[in-house]
Chain A
Amino acid sequence: MMGRRYFQGKNSLFLTIGAGVLITLLVVFIITPILGLFFRITFEQFLASLSDLVVWNALILSLVTASISTLVIILVGTPVAWINARHQYPGREIVDTLIDLPLVLPPTVAGLALLLAFGRMGLIGSIFYDYGISIAFTTLAVIIAQIFVSIPFYIRQARASFEQLDPMYEHAAKSLGSPAVPTFFTVILPLVKAGLIGGAIMSFARALGEFGATIMFAGNFQGRTQTMPLAIYTAMQGDLTAAITLSVILIIISFLIIALVKFKLRGYTER
């Protein structure tokens, strides 16, 4: 039935089989490694590892830092995305390109760059250090690294959502006498909510998985800068069971977040 609807003509059978094979291969390719993790430990081992302080320290640190990063990204990224979507100003293209730069930068390069900027010998970090403030190797550094690598995901999505919105809505509100800022919050934001939440989730997921920039810039210290990915990397070199437990927890959390958001988004778009 699907075939008849989407692929009409004499090649429809061939294409339907081809599409089926392709989708099956892709699903197997993604599912197999994940199942590999789940099959490698018993439930008892999983529960035993849960009592390990490393696991809880990393889990709490990851969730707290990724949440703060995402909040900052939304607060800073939303106005920037709106301005870049609706207003032309000199250098806008350059700003847009720079915002995308962390996407193509290898995370280790980002981490080294952050260290050389915010480290106590760095460009900006040395000024803070003179006032007794250290940034590198603190929880703040974890958050800075996460914001740096994941902010493009939000701004790209937010800008696209704003651009897709018909300017008619703003014009109508304006002609009815509504000032710009209230219009933004009461008219525009509700219309692009789904897109913004989608972008925020992408950023949150990227922040949760951040490894390279964090280990370079924030270091690796349990309870302070050792997020889940760092804990997994460190544990893998000593206690593989703990590494697998951490991975399984991370997968479950990521999956729950995606599922929750998809469910919520469906509510928004249908309303």
Chain B
Amino acid sequence: MKFSWIIPVTAVFLAAILLTGCTGNQAEPGKTELTVFAAASLTGALTDMAETYETSHPGIHVVLNFDGSQALRTQIEQGAYADVFLSANTKHLYALRDQGLMENSSIGLFAKNKLAVITPASNPGNMTTLADLARPGTRLVIGTKDVPVGDYARQILKKMGNDSTYGPSYTASVLANVISEETTVTGVVTKVQIGEADAGIVYESDITPENRDRFLVITIPDQYNVIAEYPAGIAGSSAHKDEAAGFLAYLKGEQGRAILAKYGFALP
């Protein structure tokens, strides 16, 4: 039989793939791999922090997974492995805690944030005040209702609608101008940065020294703004709880705070 070699060859290939697949995911020898799930708004700060942490802790390799907090929560609920979870609101982390998926004693706030409206530097929509967000035809990008930045944006718009300065129709008029709902704050920032949106509602920490000249910023007064609270905690299924606790101590310690402050976060 001419083709009888196919099955043994396929079997060898499959065995090889299975073997490499099962063993290929090892960390560098002697290093502990610490998996950190972090809200997308922490992308700059945590990338920076992972580097300095690895330098001062040579035995640890930090693996970062950035996404909307709601997406990270779903991943953990569905069994994704994480050592540490850093959320952009308390809602998603506390939901995991209530399901028994977090180490309760490890949970604590580590950063605060506020929101702001950004426009491209060229300001194609000619936006100067928050009232302009309600002007018909404005192309606005915000987060979905589940991603913290979208949830906060809706809270702010509701507060403004309840205030006589903007009036009750304000909230609906602004929401009618939304052209896209992004699942991460980084998605909102990008759409504004490439000039496809007239405005976006993002965190103040998204306006960094590096991208400052690409945007115009319209600040949201404190009476309408919300304080975003960032909690951190160790995942219940973590196999490296001591190392995870060490990382959280660093995050809340002097070096961690300095990096967070550099990226525009307020500190608790």
A interface residues with partner B (beta carbon < 8 Å): 7, 9-11, 14-15, 18, 115-116, 119-121, 134, 136-137, 218-222, 225, 233-234, 236-238, 240
CB of B245 within 8 Å of the partner chain: no
B residues near A221, Cβ cutoff 8 Å: 178-181
Chain A's nearest CB lies how many Å from the CB of B8? Answer: 10
Partner of B74, one of A11, A18, A220, A240: A240
A residues near B70, Cβ cutoff 8 Å: 237-238
Within 8 A of A (CB), among B130-153: 139, 141, 144-147
Contact between A220 and B196 (Cβ–Cβ < 8 Å)? no
CB of B236 within 8 Å of the partner chain: no
Contact between B180 and A219 (Cβ–Cβ < 8 Å)? yes
Question: Chain A: which residue is nearest B191 at the CB level?
Answer: A219
Contact between A220 and B180 (Cβ–Cβ < 8 Å)? yes
Question: Chain B: which residue is nearest A225 at the CB level?
Answer: B180
Do A237 and B144 form a contact, CB below 8 Å, given A11-B1, A137-B139, A219-B179? yes
A119–B194 alpha-carbon span in the complex (Å): 9
The count of residues in chain B whose C-beta lies closer than 8 Å to any C-beta of chain A is 25
CB of B195 within 8 Å of the partner chain: yes
Chain B's nearest CB lies how many Å from the CB of A138? Answer: 8
Chain B's nearest CB lies how many Å from the CB of A186? Answer: 45
Q: Which of A10, A15, A220 has the most CB of B within 10 A?
A: A220
Could you show 7 A-B contacts with beta carbons less than 8 Å apart? Answer: A9-B1, A115-B194, A137-B139, A218-B180, A220-B181, A221-B178, A237-B71
Chain A's nearest CB lies how many Å from the CB of B147? Answer: 7
Contact between B181 and A234 (Cβ–Cβ < 8 Å)? yes
B residues near A136, Cβ cutoff 8 Å: 196
Question: Chain B: which residue is nearest A219 at the CB level?
Answer: B180
A residues near B182, Cβ cutoff 8 Å: 219-220
A residues near B7, Cβ cutoff 8 Å: 15, 18
Partner of B146, one of A7, A134, A237: A237
Partner of B183, one of A10, A120, A225, A233: A233
CB of B68 within 8 Å of the partner chain: yes
B residues near A9, Cβ cutoff 8 Å: 1
Partner of A236, one of B4, B74, B191: B74
Do A237 and B68 form a contact, CB below 8 Å, given A115-B194, A136-B196? yes
